[in-house]
Structure 1
Amino acid sequence: MFAYRLTPQQAFDLLVWRSQESNVKLYALAAAIEARISDVDLPSEARSSFDRIVHGAHEDVQRR
């Protein structure tokens, strides 16, 4: 969802499409993608941005 800026429904639809196109069960496809995600190495700048998001998200919730 993050990489393509998709809504949850759009991400699911993409997985369904890829599952059907490749004739691979949806669960197996999602598991394979999840396993490969751990191999992605984010640049330190991107990791720092995620750190700021994770550490500051509670402030957004508290403001509501």
Structure 2
Amino acid sequence: MPTVFIAVQCCQCSTMQVKQRNKSNKWTCVVCNQKQFVRQVFAQGPVVGDLRLFVQSSNMSR
């Protein structure tokens, strides 16, 4: 099974982050340490570098 990366947004601090998709759909924000579920996937792909550019531009625009 190929590795899939997703771009998600924290519900508390609104920071976009790239995470590896897992079965449980739970993740922890590295900025505010909030544990949460994946509510919306903003982008996904097999290469983390493609998503990193999207996440960086989203975080710089807020």
Normalising by structure 1, we get a TM-score of 0.30
Point out the structure with max Rg over C-alpha.
1
Higher relative strand content: 2
Could you say which structure has the higher helix fraction? 1
Q: What TM-score do you get using the length of structure 2 for normalisation?
A: 0.31
Larger RCO: 1 or 2 (CA < 8 Å, sep 6+): 2
